[in-house]
Amino acid sequence: MKYYVCIDIGGTFLKHGLADGQGNLLEKGSVPTEAKKKGIAGLLGKLQELVEAYRASYEVAGVAIASPGIVDAEKGEIVFAGNNFPGYTGTRLKEEVEKRCGIPCEVENDVNAVGLGETWLGAGKGAESIVCVAVGTGIGGCVLLGGKLLHGAANCAGEIGFLSMGDGATLEESSSTASLIRELAEKRGVEAETLDGERIFADAKEGKQDAAEAIEGMVQRLAIGLANVCCLLNPQRIIMGGGIMAQEAYLRPRLEEALRRSLVIVPIRESTELVFAKLGNDAAMLGALRHFLQRRGK
């Protein structure tokens, strides 16, 4: 049987696993990324080491990578990357991995990979049109039609976090975990470093009004952004993922109600299903594998 090394490159950790062609993960683990400390050469070295370690025990047919930044999925090249990965912009990741390891490699953006994974094996199964939204420190998104990603002319389709909210702020600046923390810290007159999303939700559940109000404001703004996307694309299903969406029990009824109020066109409101991601930390790895298999016609 052929197996595939799946890698999710994160700012802090490289999550890795070995899967078969049906998306069953046989092994998985993580190692520190250290992109700032060791540079891109160090990152490429770690990727090679991970692949070779799996090849020592398995017949590996390819390497599937989910990467941060804007990715040209056709070329497997990093078009643009942020400050967490200095020197990463312009890296021909597919080419470098194939040269070092001697086996096929494919690369996709990490949020795109999450959407692919959820569509293949998670919350998106059975839906023809999907918008997947990842809410964390920032907000990312992707669009899938018939199980395939819509990349856009500059590989930037689905960047919902940069939607303008009409007040000079983007959706990411007003509705991410970072913005939630910043807002509540200002209200309490404390440093943002003293708070995190988990603490804020715990406070809200304990009846602390300022925390509940901060979450409610984030939900309302997020619903407006989602409603704008629904009016443009009319997706069958919206998948909510990212760290903060682990608070599904608290967020689902509030977000569903806010979205219902924001969608004034009744047919859109009635045809849109809001769901929460199911694959957790494995989503990007499995989506990277799905991308690899699609690229190879499998």
In the chain, domain spans:
3-109+281-295, 123-277
**pLDDT in the model for residue 83:** 84
Yes or no: say if 117 and 224 are a contact pair by the CB < 8 Å rule: no
Q: In sequence order, what E strands does 176-271 have?
A: 237-241
pLDDT, residue 298, reads 75
The pLDDT of residue 84 is 83
Measured in whole angstroms, how far is the alpha carbon of residue 2 from the centre of its chain? 27
- Which 8-state DSSP code applies to residue 72? E
Which homologous superfamily is 3-109+281-295 in? ATPase, nucleotide binding domain (3.30.420.40)
Pairing of β 13-19 and β 3-9? antiparallel
Identify whether the C-beta of residue 81 lies closer than 8 Å to the C-beta of residue 112.
Answer: no
Tokens linked to 129 = 């049109």
Query: Measuring CA to CA, which residue among 225, 234, 224 is closest to residue 130?
Result: 234
pLDDT of res. 267: 97
The Cα–Cα gap between 70 and 53 comes to 28
Same fold for the domain at 3-109+281-295 and the one at 123-277? Answer: yes
Pairing of strands 70-72, 77-80: antiparallel
Strand order in the sheet with 129-135: 148-149, 139-145, 129-135, 237-241, 273-276
User: Hey, which residues does 141 pair with through a beta bridge?
Assistant: 133
Q: What's the CATH number for 123-277?
A: 3.30.420.40
Rounded CA separation 242/256 (Å):
17
Q: What is the mean pLDDT of each run of 10 residues along the chain (298 residues)?
A: 95 96 97 93 96 96 97 97 91 98 97 98 97 94 97 95 91 95 96 95 97 97 97 97 94 98 96 97 97 91
Q: Is 260 helix (H, G, I), strand (E, B) or coil?
A: helix
Classify residue 59 as exposed, middle or buried by CB count within 10 Å of its CB (0-12, 13-18, 19+): exposed
Q: Which pairing describes strands 237-241 and 129-135: parallel, antiparallel, or unpaired?
A: parallel
Chain-centroid distance of CA 161 in Å reads 12
For the whole model, what pTM was predicted? 0.94
Look at residue 145 in the predicted model and tell me its pLDDT.
97
The dihedral formed by the CA atoms of 82, 85, 91 and 93, expressed in degrees to the nearest 10: -110
